[in-house]
Amino acid sequence: MGVIDKVLCPRCGHEPASKSVFQCSECRSILEVHVNTNQLTNADFERMRQSRDQSIWRWFDFFPVSQRSSIVSLGEGGTPLIPAARLGAKLGIEKLYLKNDTVLPTGSLKDRSNSVGVSVAREWEFKTAAVMSTGNAAGSVAAYSAAAGINSVVMVPAGTAPSKIIQARAYGATVVVIDGSFDYEVAKLYKAAVQEFGWYDCLSSNPYRDEGKKSYAYEMVDQFDGKTPDWVIHPTAGGTGIYAMWKGYKELLSLGWIERPPKLVAAQSEAAAPIVAAFEKGLPDVEPIVARETIAESIQVGNPASLGWRALAALRESRGTAIAVSDAEILEAQALTGSLSGVFAEPAAATSVAAAKKLRDTGVIGHDDIVVCNLTGHGLKQPEAIRLTEKDFTPIAPTLDMLRQYIARFEIT
Ligand SMILES: Cc1ncc(COP(=O)(O)O)c(C=O)c1O
Ligand SMILES: [Zn+2]
C-alpha cells in the first residue's frame, strides 16, 4: 500500500497541516508527496515484478493512493521497450530502445499521471476534475474521469489540433476552447476557475498526479532485468517526466534495487525551450519565455512554472543534459522512427529521437551507449503533421499496367 509519509515543501521545508493541499502557504512552491517505501524489500520487488497486472498498478506501493478500491485504471503502463536496431543503425547508436508510450489507453504518456491523479480524486470524493492542456492531457483526464464516474472540464488554447478536442469530447468532457495563449491567458483563467468552482486540479501542479510518471523508472528497471540504460531521453514541456522519473530512480537506488541511475535528457523544441536555456546558462530556475509555434505542439510550453526548477535539478543530479531541436529535425526523426522502427510517434514525441541523433552526432552519446527514447504520444494524435500531396490521394486506373508505372516510381520490388 502506498503510505504517504508526509507532504513537504521542497523549497522551504514547510510541512502543511493538511495532506490535501498542493501549494506551500509560505513560499507558493508546489509541494512534494513522500510515499514511504523504506519498508520495501527485495521480496517485494520480486512480488511486483511477478504480478499478473502489467499496468503501473503493479507498483502500487510506490503511489500515494491508500486503497486499491480507489484505483482508476484503463490498463496504462507496461508499455513495450523495443530494441530499435534499424533506427539505431541509422543514428549510429547500436543499443537504441524505444519506450513505446504511444500504445497507452488514450495514446499519450499523460495516462501514467492521470491514472494516479484521478484515483486520488476518487479517494477524496471530488465530483469534477479539471485540466488545461495543449491537447494530450485533455483526452487523458477526460478518459480517466469517465472511468471514475467524475465530470471533467478541459480548457485548451485556440489552435489545438481538432483530433485532440474530438478525443476529449468522445469521453464526455466539457471542452472549453479559449482565445489566448496557453502559458498566459489560458493559465490565468484556469487558475481562477479551479478556485471558483472547487474542481480537482489535474495539472502538473498537483503533486499526487505527478507521482504517476515515476512508473517509467520501475518499468525500465524491470524490462532491463535490474539494470539501467546509460541515457533516457524524454520529450519535455513542463518537466514532470524528468522530475518524476528521477524521483523513481532515486527511490530504486535507495532501496538498493539498482546500482546506478541513467543520465536523463530533456528534449525540447527550439521554439519552446526554456528548460534548455536555463540548463545551458547554469540557472537554478527556469525563466519563462513566450513559446513560438512549433510542429511539436504538445510540448509548446514556454512557462514550466511549477516543476521547471526541479526538472533542472534532476538533469544536473543525473549528470544528464538538455537539448533543443528544430522542427525540421523533429519531422525527420518522426519519419525515420516510423519507417525504420514501425512506431508512429507524434512530432512532440519524436523530439527524443531527434535529440538522440544530435547528441550522437556531437559525440555526447557514444556508439555503444544504451539509449532509451521515450515516445510519448501517438502519431494519430496529430495526423496533419504528415504532409501529403495531391498525388498521394489521386487514384490510378485499375490496371496492372498503371500499377507497374506507379510502383516503378518507388523502387519497390
Ligand atoms: C506527447 C508529449 N510528450 C511529452 C510531454 C512532456 O511533458 P512533461 O515535460 O510535463 O513530462 C507532453 C506533455 O505536455 C506530451 O504531450
Ligand atoms: Zn515553501
Cα–ligand 2 centroid distance for 326 (angstroms):
37
* Atom of ligand 1 minimally distant from the CA of 377: 1
Q: Which of 243, 265, 376, 378 to mutate to test the pocket of ligand 1 (most atoms within 8 A of CB)?
A: 376
pTM score, whole prediction? 0.96
Q: DSSP readout, 149-213?
A: T-EEEEEEETT--HHHHHHHHHTT-EEEEESS-IIIIIHHHHHHHHHHHT-EE-STT-HHHHGGG
Nearest residue (CA) to ligand 1, atom 3: 376
Distance in Å, CA 192 to ligand 1 centroid: 24
- What residue has cell string 499519450? 108
Beta-carbon neighbours within 5 Å of ion ligand 2: 9, 11-12, 14, 24, 26-27, 29
Give the Å distance between the CA of 30 and the centre of ligand 2: 8
Confidence (pLDDT) at 378: 97
Measured in degrees and rounded to the nearest 5, phi and psi for residue 72 equal -110, 110
**Residue located via cell numbers 478556485:** 195
Q: Which residues line ligand 1 at a C-beta cut-off of 6 Å?
A: 108-109, 134, 136, 204, 235-241, 298-299, 346, 348-349, 376-377
228, 262 Cβ separation under 8 angstroms: yes
pLDDT at 137: 95
pLDDT at 335: 97
Cα of 265 vs centre of ligand 1, distance in Å, is 13
Tens of pLDDT, residue by residue, the chain (413 residues): 667 888 999 999 999 988 889 999 999 899 999 988 888 999 999 999 999 999 999 999 999 999 999 999 999 999 999 999 999 999 999 999 999 999 999 999 999 999 999 999 999 999 999 999 977 999 999 999 999 999 999 999 998 888 889 999 999 999 999 999 888 899 999 999 999 999 999 997 899 999 999 999 999 999 999 999 999 999 999 899 999 999 999 999 999 999 999 999 999 999 999 999 999 999 999 999 999 999 999 999 998 877 899 999 999 999 999 999 999 999 999 999 999 999 999 999 999 999 999 999 999 999 999 999 999 999 999 998 998 887 788 899 999 999 999 998 887 76
For residue 160, which ligand has an atom nearest its CA? Answer: 1
pLDDT of 109 reads: 98
Q: Pick the residue whose CA is nearest to atom 4 on ligand 1.
A: 235
How far away, in angstroms, is 206 Cα from ligand 2 center?
A: 15
Give, for ligand 1, the residue of 104, 154, 240, 374 to mutate: max count of ligand atoms closer than 8 Å to Cβ.
240
Q: What is the pLDDT of residue 5?
A: 81
Out of 103, 209, 236, give the residue to mutate to test ligand 1, the one with the largest number of ligand atoms within 8 Å of its CB: 236
Extract the C-alpha cell encoding 344: 508512429
pLDDT at 132 (0 to 100)? 94
333/336 Cα distance (integer angstroms)? 5
* CB-based contact 330:347 (threshold 8 Å): yes
User: How far, in Å, is the centroid of ligand 2 from the Cα of 246?
Assistant: 21
User: Separation of 31 CA from ligand 2 center, angstroms?
Assistant: 7
